[in-house]
Structures are given as C-alpha cells and as structure tokens.
Chains A and B, each alone.
Chain A
Amino acid sequence: MLGRHFYIILFFLILSCRGEEIKTVVPKDINVVGHEQPTSIVAGEIAQFSFEVKGKGNPYLLLHQGLGPMILQPRLDNNKLVFTLEKMYTRQAGLYEWELINNSQVVLSGNLKVLPKQELTTKIETYFGPRSIRAGGDDFSMLFMVPTDVYDNPLPDGTSVIIKRQMDNAQDSIQGELKNGYLWHNLFSSNYAGRMLVSATVNQISSKELTSMIAPSNSVNFQIDYKRVHDYADGNQVIEFITDEIQDRFGNTVADGTLVNFQVTDQDGARLLTAGSTLAGIATGKLLHPTKASNWKVTAYVTGESKSNETQLQFKPAVKDYEVSFLHDNRLIEVGPIHGFMEQLVPDGLLITLKLFNDKGELVDTKLTNSSKGKASFELEELFYENGLYTLQIETAGLQKEFKVALGTNELE
C-alpha cells in the first residue's frame, strides 16, 4: 500500500514540476482593450462575443452552462477575437457564465442570460390527481403544469396561464401566473357527482384534456321494500328485498356496486343475511321463503354510512297437516300426500326428517328425505332395525308428529 501511494505522489510531483516549467519558460500576456457581447438572448439564437486584445497569447472562452463547461476557440476578424456560440448550444434557457481565459488566468468574465423562447411555446406538461374525488366541495384534485417552449425550457415567472374547467354542465376559467416555472391549482369538487374536465392554456397553446371523476359522497338513510309471490312459508319461492334509490346528502345516486347488507332477523332471533350491490342506486337482496311459519324483521345497511327503515313481514304455514301411513309390518313409512296452501301437492324437495328412538329413548338413527310428487317414504329394513318398539318423530314444514311403533308387527300406538 505504501508503495502504491508513493508512486502516485511521485507521479503528481513530476506532473506539477512540468507545469511550472511551461509557465516560466514561455510567458504570454494579453490585455483587453475593448469588448462587445450580448447580455441576454432568446434560446436558439446565435451569441457572438468579440474582444479587442493586445499582446500575445492563446486566449479561449470558457462557458459555464447547465449542461457543463464548454470551450470556444476564437476567430480573428479585423484584429478582433470573435467567439461564436452557435444556436444549437443556446437551446437551454438560463444563466450562462463566460470567462475569457489566457494562460490559465481569467482575463475577463461576464454573464449571458438565455431566455425561453416564449413565442414558440409548444407544450404544457400537466399532471392532475387524484383521479377521483368525492362530491361536497371538501375534496379536490390538484392540477400541476409546466409549460415549455420549443426547446423544452420552462417559461419565465409571471407568464399568465388560463385554466379552463368543465363541470356540472358549465365551464369556468381561472387565471394564474407561473412561479418558478410551474403552476399548481387545487380544483374542488361541487355538490354534484360527475366528471371534471380541465385544461390549461399558455400563449394560445393548450394542454391535453385531463379528467377527475367526482364520486358521490357518503350515502344517507334510505327505504327498503320487499316483493314476493305469496306469503306462505313454502320454502321454494324467492323473496326479493329492494332498496329505493340510495343517495348521498346532495341527491347524487351512490356509486354502482355499493354493497348493501340486508339483515333478516327471524322469530327465533337468528340473523339471516343477504346482500346486493347497487345498480343505479338500487340494491336487491334475495332469499328463499322459509320452510315454516315465520316472522321476519329486515333492515338494510351501508355499513358505517347509512341504514334503512325496519320492515316486518310474516309467512303463513304452507302445509296445514299431512298423513303418515305404516305398511309392511310398519317397516315402510309413507308420508303424504302433503298438500300446500291451496291443496296442491307441495313442490318437490320439501325436507322430511325421521328420528328413530328405541324403547329406552335413545336416538338410533336420523333419516332424511325430500318430498317428490308430494310424497316421501322411509324404509326400515330388518337388516338394520331389529324387531321391537320404537318411537318415530317425523318433521316437515315445521310440523312434528310422533308415533310409537312396533317394528315387525302391525301394531301401532
């Protein structure tokens, strides 16, 4: 390590010694007698620096600009040193510092201001966000813009900007001025849901169209109703719960897809649940009719924001009574025909439960079946159920019947 440092130091020493030599051996000095140079140009123009000098030397012009330093070599014109800064080098607006340097010494220095080419404003860079806000006037989207000239230079402070806005079937415009090259403006929502379109104009140049959605505000309490074919608890028809058009406090319909929970409390206090998402403000929830007489209380919620009235409805029993017959030494149990509310056979699929208790009162088996053409049957085969006394509980449509049966005989209690 030490060795390496030593070599590096030695190398620099040698270099610096050489520099010293040149200075002392060939001294050159110049004096500037007169000079002429622009102090401010517009981006994309040529800048000429001319210096009348006396003395001998190799002067050059060092230019500091945003992209880095740049060296210009002179051209001799009528004993004047002329430096030309071509137009492709003046595209970037800003402050350029120049130094006339001879012999590593600054002879003369000054500034050149390059201004943005305002008359050729071509583009307005814009950002607008958030892309959706809520109605009510508290929420806003911010428009941010940077208008630029043809060379992508931001325009000077004070340049006037017109922001145009289309909202609620009306247009308005807002005046503004650039500061630090840009402008931002908060555009607040109104009380109406919809869409806000904005654009900006600078020097007759317009930005693209930008948009922010104004979504409805929080919903307010609403009403619900229900629709059903009949009021019997047949366990087959569908009941629909429907909200009216859910709105926010300004009368805007809530956003499509807003979830509404319909909470149904039955006579036993069990909370059934259905849900619907709104379409044009209306949500629909569906449930099947219960299988036995019931008393339902229904309330709908947009949780946290709003709720509906409570609506009550009753279901009458669809089946009043049914027959049970025992065949084949009581081993075949036929239930039905089960008749519905207008003496029709009940729709297929009514659940019938048979609970079989032995003579000690222990549950032996639970059998399930569905009604088909109004009837259902259970078979208690000898293979599985020995002869003896059993208690049978049959339940369907909320109606329970109990029988004491001796399997293997015709006896029935």
Chain B
Amino acid sequence: MKGTNVLLVVALFIGLAFHGSSIFFTLEYTYDALIHLFFADHYANSWFEPWDYRWYTGFTVQGYPPLVHQLIGILSYIGGLKFGLFTVGLLAILLYVTGAYRFGLLMTGDKKVAGYTAILAVFSSTFIETLHIFGQLPSISALSILMHSLTEIYLWLKTGKRVYLFTSLSLIAVTVTSHHVTPIFGMVFFIFPLIGMVVMDVSRDKVNSYKELRFKVFWNSFRQLFWRIVSFGFFSLILIVTCILPYWINSKKNPITQVPIPHGSRDNFLEVTSSGLVFFMIPWGILLFLIPYLFYRFYSKRYLFFGLSMTMLTILGTGGTTPVPLMLLGETAFNILTLDRFTLWATIMALPIFGEFAFRMVEGDIKEKIQRRLGSVYHRILGGFIAGGVLFMVIFTMSLGYFRPSQPAKIKMLPIVNFLNQDQHDRWRYLPLGFGDQMAWLSAQTKAMTVDGNYHSARRLPELTTRAIERLENSKFRGVEGIGSLQQFLTVPEKYNLKYIFSNDKFYDPLLYFCGWQRLQQLENGIMVWEKLNVPPMPAILPKDDVPKWSKIMWGVIPILTVLVAFFINVQMLWYRVLKSKKLPLPDYFKYRVTYKGFPGFMIVINHIWAVIVLICLAFGMYKFYIHNASQRSPENVLTAYYNALDFKEFETAHSFLDKEKEVPIAQYMLEVSVTDGILSSYAKLDAMDITISEETEFGAKAIVDTDWVTPLERVKKIYHHDLVKRNGNWFIMPSYLDTDIPPDQLFSSNDTKFYNHGRRRITTQQTYHEDVLKQPVLEVLTAKLVKYNGQYSVIGEIQNVDNIPSDVVIKATLYNDANKELANYDAKYHMKHKLMPMESTSFKINFEGIAWSQTKDTIPPTFNPDEFTPVELEEQPTKFNLQCAGNVANTDLYKGLTVQSLHIGEQQIDGELYNSGIQEVTIPLLLISYYDENKELIWVDHQFVKDGVRVQRKQPFQYNLLNVDDVSTINSSLKNCFVNGLPNESIAEKVIPDRNQTHQWDQLQPLKGNSFDFVKLELNSYIGNPK
C-alpha cells in the first residue's frame, strides 16, 4: 500500500462538492437544523448561563449536549449564525466521509475497499436523509467521530499501546459532548462488536486458520485482553458521565414527564406506508437488494459480533412493524426513542461490507464469477442496475424535500422581529402558528419569549407535557388533541402573559376569534398578527431553576476542551497520515485483510432470489397503490374519492365523479364551490368517513355518508345523503340540487358606526401618557350563577355593556369552597360574545377545564376531545364563585348584521333560518342558546356552530336540538362577588342604570315549553373570515 488513496480523495471531493453545496438549499428546511441554530444563538449570547427564557416559559439548555451548538455559536461571531451552521455542516460532512473510510479500512484492512466505502458513504441515502431532510447535525457529527474512534479503540485493545487509549478516549469525549444517545448506544452496537472482533483477531493470531478458532481459544484471548477492555470501558464510562455531568444531573432532576409523542419511526410500516418509506425504504435504499450478502459477510467468524449487532439494529429499526422492538426496549424506551436512529446505524455499519461488495463487483471475484457464469453483458447490466439504483435513491431522497416539503414556505422574519421590538411588544409573550420548524429561527432572532418551543424534552408546563403534541404551533396536525391543548393557551392567555399571535395558517383564525382574540395588523410578509386585550405584561423578574456555578462552568468549558484535547492528541497522527511526512508502521488491522477469491456461487443465486422477491414486493406495492386509486370501481370508492378530493380542494377531480348525464358544467361547479364558505368548507380537515350503502341495485345506490371533521373549534359530524348511478361500469354521484335563490338588491348601502383608537397619540419610549389611556368601558353583570350539570361545574350568567363605547369583554371565574379556599379558575371561551356594542348584552358560560391538569397531575386524561370534555377533579365541593370582568375599548369585530329570519319550534328541536342583512360575509355563525325557567331565571347556556356560512342578503337554515336541562342544579346564585374592572358590580349597577327595567330582558325571551325549561333566548355571534 502506497501513496494517497485516490478513491478517498475523490470521495471527499465529491462529498464536499455535492453535500457542501446542497446544504445551502436543504438544511434550513429540515426538521432539526433550526432548533440547533436556536441553541447556538443561546450560547452565543450567554455562554455560561444555561437558562433560556425564550421557550416554554423558560427551560435549561442542559437538556441537550452542547458541543455542536457551541461550535455554531463560536463561529457565529465570525459570520453570523447561519455561517456557523453551514460551517459545522461542512465539518460534519468531512468527518463523516473520512470516518466511513477509516471504518472501512478497519473492517476490511484493504485501502481500496475502504476507498469504495468512502465513495458509497457519500451517496448513501441514509446519510442524505439524515443530513438533508432531518438535519440532525449533532447525530451525524457524533456518529462520524465514533467511527474515527473505532480504529483507535481497536489499536488500543490489540496492541496495548497507551497512546491509543488516549486517542480513543479523546474521541469518545468529543462524541459524548456532541450527542448523548450516540455513545451510549454506540457502546452497545459498535464498540461491543468491535471488542469481539479484536478478541477474534487476537485468537486468529494464535491459530492457523479460522477453522481452528474454537471457543476455548477465543476465551483465552478474551482473558488476555480483559484488562485492556475493562480499562477502556471504565475510562470511557467516566468520560460519558463527567463530560456532560450537568446533563445527567438535569435529567435526574427534571425527568421527562412528557407523554409519548407519536413518531413515524414507531409506526407499523406496512400500515403507514409513508413512514415505511421515510424510515425504512429510503435509509436502506439499494442495500435492500444486498441483504443476503450483508448477512453472509457479517456472519463470517471475524465479523460475527458485528453481525449480531447488525441484526439487532435492523430489527429495532422496523419500529412498530413487528412487536420485537417493543419487547426488546420496553414500553418507556420504545416511546421516548425515535427508532429511525437504529436504521441509521445499521445502514452505516453496513457501509464497509457494501464497499467490499462494490469492490468485488467492479474488480474482484464476484465480477469474475458472474462474467464466467452469466456472461459479461449481464454483469454490465447488473452493475448498471445497481449504480442506477444508487443514483435513483440519491436523487429521490434529495428531491423529497422539494416535492413534499416538510416545512411551510420560507417566512421573512424581519417584519416579525421588528414588530416585537416596537412599542415594547416584547414585554408580552408571543405564539407563532403555522411556522413549522422556522419558529426556532424566529426565536433565535429576538429576545421576546414564547410559550411554545421546539425541544419537547425540555417542556415544563403541564399543559404541554401532558399532550402528545410536538408544538402548539402545528397543533392541527395532532387533531383534536392538539387543538385542545392550543385552546387552553388561547382561552387563558393572561396566565402566560401571551398577547400576540403570529398566524401563518388561517386554519386557526376561527378559534382565535371565538376565544376572544382580535386581528391587529397584517405584516409585510403576510403574517397576520392577532392580539388579546387585557393581558398583563410579564413581570420584570421571571423565575428560573438555577444550577450551581461549577455546573455552568463545566457545561461551558468541557465540550470545547474535549475538541481541543482531541485535536492536539490526534493532530500528530493525522499529520503523518495525511501528509506522509513520516513513515508509519502498518496498523495491525491490515493483517486481517481477506483476499477476495472464489466467491461462493450459491450466494449469487440466493441474492438473485432475494432481489427478485424485493422486486416482486415493490411491484405489488405499486399495484396496490394503483388499485386504491381506481376510484370508480364501487359506490364506496367513488364517495371516498369524492370526499378526499373535496378535502384537498381538488374541485376538478371532485367534479369528475359527478354524473355526466345530469351535467353540471365544471365552470358552474367551480363557481358554486368557490362561493360556499363556512367552517366545513374553509376550516375543516376530514378525519374519518363512514359510508353506508342503504339500497343498492345493479345500476343505482343510495348512500349515507357519515363524515367526521376536525375543525379548529370542535369535532364536527355531518351526515350527507347521496344517490349514485353506474354508467359504463363506473359509478357516479348524482349532483345535489342547486340553490337558485337570488338576493333582491344588486347594489345596496349600509350605514355603520366605525371606531378608531389611536393607541398612543404621542410617540414616546416611556409609558403611555395619561391622556392617551382610554377609560375602560363599564359593564354590568345582570345575572351570575354557579351550576352543576352532568357532574361538572360551570358559571353561567349574562353581562351587558352599559357604556357608550364598544367593549371587549374578558370574564374570569374562580371557584371557592366553604372555607374560601380557591379551587379552580378559568376564562369564558366561546360561550359568549367577546365584543359588545353599547347596551348590548350576552349570555356567558365558563367551564373549568385547564385546572384539571395543573392540579391533579396523575389523573391527566390521555386525550382531549372538546366534545367529550373532562370535568375538573375538584378536591372539594365548590360553593362560591368570584367573577372578574374586564372591559377594554374594542373597535373591531363588531358586525351585527346577522338576524334570525324564521323560526319553527318543534318539541325536540328548533329549525330556523339565519339571514345576513349587512355587508360582510359571515363565515361561521355561532348560536348561543340560553335556557330559562318559568320565573325567567337563567338555567343553562349552550352553543352551536352553524356549519355553513351566510352570504350577504342570503339565508342559511340551521337546526338546534333542545337539551334536557332537568339535572342542572344551581349551587350559588349571587352577584355579591362579581367585579367589573376591579369595582364591585353592585356599585356600577346603582350608578349607571339605576332604574333598570327588568322586563325588557324578559320580553325578549322566546316562550318554549320544554324539558324543565319554559323560555329560551337565541343570540348570534358571527366570525368573518375575510373582513372587507
């Protein structure tokens, strides 16, 4: 062996050129890279202070090994955070390619094979995925350094030269400080088999052939090496513990209370094929075809232990497909670990053998054998197939992020950063919605704080740790549970000093509106800012969990120190190796090079059979995919396809399923679809669908489609009836009738009172001038009661704006027991109109939900469903309540154009029509229904979202099923502890409307003899999706 390895140089060259240039287009769109950037920003700003206030109402960065973050942080002083990120990315690529080379060299003892390994490593789909799609920089760096350390460990164990102990330990230390999971599992899956291999090599030296190598020889060699193994194990354990000691202390002190968050790598890959693709097919890539060869080589005597480890990793990497990983890891580890890392390690471990295969295929014995047996043309075709396969996987994996972006489009952060810096907006917390992982990049650019965050192991708020959601920001992807968690934050924002929301996804808009938020402005980058009134700013001093000074110093110093130490210890060897300035003795592992001769023919056969099986599986998968898409084969299929098309707003596809003979032209259909607005058509995601075919003849069918939608507000069930016909063997849906109603006026006018609030009239950096502070509008609580219904407590009542200006209303109720002990408090969510015109009143209801989780930590419900609401586990019986109402001047969302046009009162239900008499399109109408007894005393308040919007001058029918309010019991009915803007309600009532005429309220009730009620009242609240 002489000279520089050309293959390695080529690998490095291509690797840096290919990955190094493409990271600029991929890394920022990955899942993790921006999180690391945020951590790096933390270190760049406060190196020795592990507490960061910006996420999760404060968290400690000691929950993640700091090396990579600190490196980015240091480099950011030169050229900014992104410069640091990309530089570290380039370093990781460099380390990875050289690491793969050295690992290959160690395993095979053949520079050529190692060169092939390096080249294949560059094109390995698992690496591409980890770097360009997941962005797991620390994981890649740690794994690369681990590969570097393997050679040193081997040499220490084999030769016993102390210098190798130091070099190996120095590299282990760097691994530990960059990623905690890698060295721990790396010990098990890489170093244990390596030890086995060393022992095997030592045994091999004692005998003449592997055949003679029996267990006894092996055992003797093991005893011979025992102390080297133990010393290495002992010292590396010490390093693992001490290098990131604060991390271990932190994990002990703040155990991860997070409930398991679903991760695709734990899915059954056969059921969830998308997870199978991302976590199995892509990482394995072309290696899938070579599995028999891999195991054939790994189960040869020298690699036996690697073979075992490889088998384990392969099985663990299959996630929930087989029950084995769950059994092996146990419930806890299975739910905390992301299992894709096992596949990553398996595929990395397979690289040297893959390199060996490539070598033998290109210029070794396999080539000879195939050419001899099957002809040289076949060999070329086969080679072309494999090379093509590798290339295909590279391009496929790289393009995945382009065709199926995991992130929303890149958001310009500057307007948001400027907004937060203006006018002391950063004195409140903010919450981004629909930002994806870019929220971390926003956080890195501002000092303002958010209640959300992107490193869920560090969460502290029980509202978050008890939810299996990744972030609040993308809670819609976690269905009702995610929305439920978000609702808590939106309903009681003052608890978290949460005042601003940056919405990049209009899906959340109705939820924000009905929780009492209002639009503030649209920023230049299209992000809508929502604000909530009456939220106090954050206190000047925020709590933090402090750690001792030594821990901070350790955390700040050791990681970088390990890099420096490793550099100085290894630099000499590196110098000799790379520049060949000194002749080095050939390392020991070169002795165990195999001469590749006489590849067994049966392996070629077996591998061919296997490849055919894999191909058949792929073909079958594609066939299934096609059949699934054959949408008109049965009534069920066509309905499923139709609703899916509607759900994804593919109206042209949806139209193609309609009966052609009852021709509705596509233009007409698109028009109809485009004018319908409402919670279902604009803000819902189809969650489940149940199709019942009630009557089916040969050419016709009637179907009842039971749909289940997740909306930002609640789960909506809606039943649709369809008639279907079969024409030319294909099923079609008969179009429903068309609403031909036309409004009377083409053009009409409307007068409206509009309000404008200057905010601060004088521009000042100090507090707002006294004259620029508006008086809080005066409200009056008309009735308030603590009631119990179906086992849960609610405070219901009516409140009126008795001032001359419109008011935003926030109502907070607190429950007390007889001993005046506070039991729970909560705000009114959407059982009220949050904005009231002068003299307007609203019924309200406050349910006590959030408290359940903050008080009784062990009875946390596993899932949250707004419909099946979990009542509070109150320790004691509430007997009193306190109501704090606050009015603030409102100037938006004051639309009152919605009216009740007609009403038919049945025994069990009310049918009616809403009519929109104003000039704004109402997207989601809300009905508030209050029940009264024969004395016209309020008993209960209920709500219903009308599923479709109401267009201007048009009607929308609604149906409401009356409740049985028989078991509502009133516990306390008193206005004694009701306060408005901090003043007792009583004094306001006496002062503002001293001679209030009670009959006005009573006159407006609808007499309705029902189940233990005698009157109802209907009130309307309208959400306008696109205010004009």
A-side residues, CB < 8 A to B, are: 127-132, 134, 210-211, 215-216, 218, 236-238, 254-261, 263, 266, 268-279, 284-288, 290-291, 299, 301-307, 347-349, 367-372, 381, 383-384
Q: Across the interface, which residues of B come within 8 angstroms of A277, CB to CB?
A: 752-753, 837-838, 894, 896
Q: Are B899 and A275 within 8 A (Cβ)?
A: yes
Number of interface residues of B (CB under 8 A): 64
Question: Which residue in A130, A237, A299 is a CB contact (below 8 Å) of B775?
Answer: A130
Nearest CB in chain A: distance from B956 CB, A: 12
Contact B697 A259 (CB under 8 A): no
Q: A299-B1003, A383-B700 are in contact. Are A349 and B899 (CB under 8 A)?
A: no
Interface residues of B in 765-813 (CB under 8 A from A): 770-771, 773-775, 782, 800, 802, 804-806
Known: A270-B903, A287-B899. A349 touches B740 (CB 8 A): yes
Stretch in contact with the other chain, from B27-35, B115-123, B475-483, B992-1000: B992-1000
* A residues in contact with B995, CB < 8 Å: 218
A238 engages B740 (CB within 8 Å): no
Bound: A370/B896 CA distance, A: 28
29 contacts between A and B (CB under 8 A): A127-B770, A210-B771, A238-B745, A257-B806, A258-B804, A266-B903, A269-B1007, A270-B902, A270-B904, A271-B1004, A274-B899, A274-B917, A277-B752, A277-B837, A286-B899, A286-B917, A287-B915, A288-B955, A299-B1003, A301-B1003, A305-B996, A305-B1000, A306-B997, A307-B1003, A347-B742, A349-B742, A370-B739, A371-B740, A383-B723
Given A132-B804, A216-B804, A301-B1000: A238 touches B744 (CB 8 Å cut-off):
yes
CA distance A122 to B802 in the complex (A): 41
Q: Which of A128, A258, A271, A372 contacts B1006 (CB 8 A)?
A: A271
Minimum distance in angstroms from A349 CB to a CB of chain B? 3
Q: For B738, what are the chain A residues with a Cβ–Cβ distance below 8 Å?
A: 370
A307 touches B902 (CB 8 A): no
A113: min CB distance to chain B, Å:
33
B981-1003 contacts to A (CB < 8 Å):
992-993, 995-998, 1000-1001, 1003
Is the CB of B737 closer than 8 A to any CB of chain A?
yes
Q: Tell me the complex Cα distance, A260–B741, Å.
A: 29
Interface contact B840-A370, CB-CB below 8 Å? no
CB distance from A200 to the nearest CB of B (A): 15
Q: Which 5 residue pairs are nearest across A and B when measured between Cβ atoms? A: A349-B741, A383-B700, A255-B804, A286-B917, A274-B899
Complex CA–CA separation, A132 to B778 (angstroms): 11
Contacts of B899 in A (CB 8 A): 272-275, 285-287
Contacts of B699 in A (CB 8 A): 383
Counting residue pairs across A and B whose Cβ atoms lie within 8 Å, the total is 173
Known contacts A259-B839, A275-B896, A383-B725; A303 and B800 CB within 8 A of each other:
yes
8 Å CB interface, B178-231 against A? none
Q: What's the dominant secondary structure at chain B's contact region?
A: loop
Residues of B at the A interface (CB closer than 8 Å) are 695, 697, 699-700, 702, 723, 725, 737-742, 744-745, 751-753, 755, 770-771, 773-775, 782, 800, 802, 804-806, 836-841, 894, 896, 899-905, 915, 917, 953, 955, 992-993, 995-998, 1000-1001, 1003-1007, 1018, 1020
Q: Which residue of A lies closest to B745 (CB)?
A: A238
- The answer to whether B838 and A290 touch across the interface, beta carbons within 8 angstroms, is no
Contacts known (A259-B840, A299-B1003, A303-B800); A368 close to B737, Cβ less than 8 A: yes
Contacts of B755 in A (CB 8 A): 257
A307 to chain B, nearest CB (A): 6
Closest to B916 in A: A286
Q: Is A258 a contact of B837 with CB atoms below 8 Å?
A: yes
A256 touches B753 (CB 8 A): yes
CA distance A302 to B1006 in the complex (A): 18
Query: In the complex, which residues of chain A have a beta carbon less than 8 angstroms from the beta carbon of B804?
Result: 132, 215-216, 254-255, 257-258
CA–CA, A132 to B1005, complex, Å?
33
**Chain A contacts for B996, CB-based, 8 A:** 304-305
Question: Which residue of chain A has the shortest Cβ distance to B774 in the bound complex?
Answer: A131
Task: Knowing A270-B905, A285-B899 are in contact, say whether A258-B838 is a contact too (CB < 8 A).
Answer: yes
Beyond A257-B805, A287-B915, A368-B737, is A303–B742 a contact (Cβ under 8 Å)?
A: no
A254 neighbours in B (Cβ, 8 Å): 804, 838
Instruction: Indicate if the CB atoms of A273 and B742 lie closer than 8 Å.
Output: no
Contact of A259 among B702, B838, B900, B1006 (CB under 8 A): B838
Inter-subunit contact A132/B902 (CB<8 Å): no
Is B841 in contact with A370, judged by CB distance below 8 angstroms?
Answer: no
Given A263-B1003, A303-B839, A384-B702, do A273 and B1018 touch, yes or no (CB 8 Å)? yes
Given contacts A255-B804, A272-B902, A303-B1001, contact A370 B753 (CB under 8 A): no
Residue of B nearest to A264 (CB): B900
Q: For A288, give its contact among B700, B770, B839, B915 (CB under 8 Å).
A: B915
Q: A285-B899, A381-B700 known; 16 other A-B pairs, CB under 8 Å?
A: A237-B744, A258-B804, A259-B837, A266-B903, A270-B1006, A271-B900, A272-B902, A272-B903, A287-B901, A303-B841, A347-B742, A349-B739, A349-B741, A372-B740, A383-B699, A384-B700
Knowing A270-B903, A303-B1001, A304-B1001, the reply to whether A348 touches B741 (Cβ < 8 A) is: yes
The residues of B that contact A367 with a CB separation of less than 8 Å are 737
**B837 with A304: CB separation less than 8 A:** no
- In the complex, A132→B992 CA distance in Å? 13
Task: Evaluate contact between B1004 and A261: CB separation under 8 angstroms.
Answer: yes
- CB neighbours of A301 from chain B (8 A): 1000, 1003-1004
Q: For the complex, what is the distance from the CA of A152 to the CA of B1001, rounded to whole Å?
A: 55
CA distance A276 to B702 in the complex (A): 45
A25 to chain B minimum Cβ distance, whole angstroms, is 48
A304 and B997 within 8 A (CB):
yes
**B770 x A263 contact (CB < 8 A):** no
Question: What's the Cα separation between A402 and B805 when bound, in Å?
Answer: 55
A304/B993 contact (C-beta < 8 A), A127-B770, A279-B751 known: yes
The answer for the CA separation of A130 and B805 in the assembled complex, in Å, is 14
Can you name the residue of chain A whose Cβ is closest to the Cβ of B896? A275
Provided the pairs A237-B744, A304-B993 are in contact, do residues A257 and B1000 lie with their beta carbons within 8 angstroms? no
In the assembled complex, which residues on chain B have CB atoms less than 8 Å from the CB atom of A266?
A: 902-903
Cβ–Cβ < 8 Å partners of A270 in chain B: 902-905, 1006
Which residue of B is nearest A132, CB measured? B775
Question: Could you tell me if A303 and B1006 are in contact, using CB atoms closer than 8 angstroms?
Answer: no
CA distance in complex: A77, B663 (Å): 117
Chain B residue at minimum C-beta to C-beta distance from A304: B996
Give chain B nearest CB distance to A308 CB in angstroms. Answer: 11
Closest residue of chain B to A212 (Cβ to Cβ) is B775
Give chain B residues whose Cβ lies under 8 Å from the Cβ of A384.
695, 700, 702, 723
Nearest B residue to A275 via CB reads B896
B955 nearest in chain A by CB position: A288
A151 to chain B, nearest CB (A): 22
A370 to B738, CA, bound (A): 7
B901 touches A304 (CB 8 A): no
- Contacts known (A259-B840, A288-B955); A129 close to B775, Cβ less than 8 A: yes
Note all chain B residues with C-beta closer than 8 A to A258: 804, 837-839
Instruction: For the complex, give the distance between the alpha carbons of A268 and B903 in Å.
Output: 9
- The CA of A285 and the CA of B901, in the complex, are separated in Å by 12
Set of chain A residues within 8 Å of B802, measured between Cβ atoms? 304
- Residue among A256, A263, A383 with max Cβ neighbours from chain B (10 Å): A383
